[in-house]
Chains A and B, each alone.
Chain A
Amino acid sequence: GQSLEQPSEVTAVEGAIVQINCTYQTSGFYGLSWYQQHDGGAPTFLSYNALDGLEETGRFSSFLSRSDSYGYLLLQELQMKDSASYFCAVSGSARQLTFGSGTQLTVLP
Chain B
Amino acid sequence: NAGVTQTPKFRVLKTGQSMTLLCAQDMNHEYMYWYRQDPGMGLRLIHYSVGEGTTAKGEVPDGYNVSRLKKQNFLLGLESAAPSQTSVYFCASNLGDSGARAGELFFGEGSRLTVL
Contact = CB atoms under 8 A, between A and B. Distances in A.
Interface in A12-28: none
A87 B110 CA distance: 17
Contact of A89 (B88, B90, B103, B108): B103
A35 B35 CA distance: 14
Contacts of B106: 45
A95 B58 CA distance: 12
A98 interface: yes
Contacts of A99: 35, 42-44
B44 A44 contact: no
Nearest to B49: A94
B52 interface: no
A96 B103 contact: no
Contacts of A4: 42
Interface stretch (B12-20, B70-78, B94-102): B94-102
Contacts of B101: 45, 48
Q: How large is the interface on B (under 10, 10 to 19, 20 to 34, 35 or more residues)?
A: 20 to 34
B109 A42 contact: yes
A75 interface: no
20 contacts: A30-B102, A31-B103, A42-B108, A42-B110, A44-B107, A45-B106, A48-B102, A48-B104, A49-B103, A89-B42, A95-B31, A95-B94, A95-B105, A96-B31, A96-B45, A97-B105, A99-B35, A99-B43, A101-B40, A102-B41
Interface of A: 4, 30-33, 35, 40-45, 48-50, 87, 89, 91, 94-102
Given A96-B33, A97-B43, 12 more contacts: A40-B37, A42-B90, A42-B108, A48-B104, A49-B103, A50-B100, A87-B42, A95-B31, A96-B58, A99-B43, A101-B40, A101-B41
